[in-house]
Amino acid sequence: MRVALIIERTDITLGGAERSIAELSEALALKGLDVTILAAKGEPDSANTQILCPDSGGKRATFTEFETLLKGHLAQHDYDIVHSVLPFSFADVYQPRGGTYRETVLRSALSYENRSIAWLKRLGAFVNHRRQQFMMAERSLSKNAQGPKIVAISQYVVNQFRTHYDTDPARIVLIANGVKPGEPVDSRQRQRTRRDMLAQFRCRPPDAMLLLFAAYNFRLKGLGPLLHALALIKQTQPCCLSIVGKSHSAETYEETAQRLNISNHVHFTGSVDRLHGLLAAADVAILPTFYDPASRFVLEALSLAKPVITTQYNGATDLFVHERHGFVIHDPEDVGALVHAIRSMSDPERLRKMSAAIAADGITERVSINRVAAQLIRLYETILRQKGREACSLSAASASR
């Protein structure tokens, strides 16, 4: 089966969508599919990647330019399935990695504490020409009964299509997000990494709980409320927060930590190549996000049997149970709820039981990209049957890997 995966850019350092597509391509290939990544921009890091707009000006190609070149490429190359993360109506599958454009705009605006700024950001996003093109294309695709199958990476995204576009439920397929399983981390390596992480804090009692927060957009992912929660906790509970990610607003949040007198309990690590070792060493992964269709960070934590704290605006909550595998906060601005969740995690025995429950309940397998690939293959085969075409044979063993 030949599959084209369409994405705007290939650079996995840009965010979760790019990394997810790279991992999905690998997982599908391991199951016997012939996968080609078609991107507007980036570097062709392998033979199965083609960059269609390398000479266009700027870091991004326009929607229209990319669409035109894609149609030309598809006219000259035969693919059984065209799977796009961008809203192109000619695709067989539309899988918006970031959820719907409309929900993204609305939730992003709400993450600004100043409501006047929030209103201006929302207005600016809706009148932005580039974003408007994508939003209009998505709306048209979602309302068109003959449009592609829509693969939602969480129930949250399913609800977005129903709410914003009244999309026919029969066109939406829920395939929960997944991540590539990491290599096991032995106890010595984990303890060594933990010691190194705690050594970065000026205040580091030996019994301190180590929280890990990782994001590209600190504001959207709720770092502000988290710092305020930490300020309320630090007097009564030894707690350290390691903040990972390269954000243009990092300096602002460092100043916030100083103002709240928690600089000794917070460390800004910057960007790292891999989170795997840091997650293995931390006690809790925390992401009080204002918006995340299905956070890779939370899924990676669960894959390592790490308890998590996040919000109902994170589609990754589909894959774990509140108060059994972690905590789900209803409002990212509810600092009191964050404080309660963190304090509830301070009991080492409770953490141990949560970690054991994640492993015992099969959560680590449920968050695997291999499960995603198997579900997508079944969808591809259904689409081919509906199109009256035969898929190239895949052995039952291969499809079930």
Q: Which domains does the chain possess?
A: 2-179+368-394 (3.40.50.2000), 187-366 (3.40.50.2000)
Q: Which residues contact 143 (CB under 8 A, 6 or more apart)?
A: 165, 166, 167
Identity of the residue numbered 287: L
* Max Cα–Cα distance, the chain, nearest Å: 67
Q: What is the pLDDT of residues 316-338, one digit of tens each?
A: 999 999 999 999 999 999 999 99
Phi, psi of 155, rounded to the nearest 5 degrees: -65, -30
Q: Which residues contact 187 (CB under 8 A, 6 or more apart)?
A: none
In this structure, the chain runs to a length of 401
Pick out the chain residues at pLDDT < 50: 391-401
Tokens 């039952």 belong to residue: 396
Q: What is the pLDDT of residues 340-384, one digit of tens each?
A: 999 999 899 999 999 999 999 999 889 999 999 999 999 999 999
Q: What is the pLDDT of residues 92-142, one digit of tens each?
A: 999 999 999 999 999 998 888 766 666 666 666 666 778 889 999 999 999
**Residue of 254, 257, 245, 252 whose CA lies nearest to 212:** 245
Identity of the residue numbered 220: L
Q: Which residues contact 375 (CB under 8 A, 6 or more apart)?
A: 175
pLDDT score for 396: 42
Token output for 96: 């918006």
